[in-house]
Amino acid sequence: EMELTQSPATLSVSPGESATLSCRTSQSTNFLAWYQQKPGQAPRLLIYGASTRATGVPARFIGGGSGTDFTLTISSLQSEDFAVYYCQQYDKWPFFGPGTKVD
């Protein structure tokens, strides 16, 4: 069964800085999505296909990687970007990672 590991668990950054979040899968895949979740809200799709931004997602969100190592880079963090970020693989059925909190 596919396993997802996200690191770090918490990432402390300041507004204007860049943040790079990591998602590692236990099996090679190119079927990876990223979501943002703010307190009291449902997750919001940011990236699918490892690097394709969803509709309306700002260009500062950049998905990359392939195989077993994937990244989500948020360039020039805005105040509204402080949230929890989840990766999700869809190689067979949807499976989510444990999340990285950006604060």
Binding site for other proteins (CB under 8 A): 31, 33, 35, 41-45, 48, 54-55, 86, 88, 90-99
Among residues 14 and 39, whose Cβ is nearest to other proteins?
A: 39
CA-to-CA separations, 89 to 2, 4, 22, 41, 81, in angstroms, rounded: 8, 8, 13, 21, 22
Least CB distance to other proteins at residue 83 (A): 14
Least CB distance to other proteins at residue 1 (A): 9
Least CB distance to other proteins at residue 30 (A): 10
3-state secondary structure of 36: strand
Of 64, 95, 62, the C-alpha closest to 81 is 62
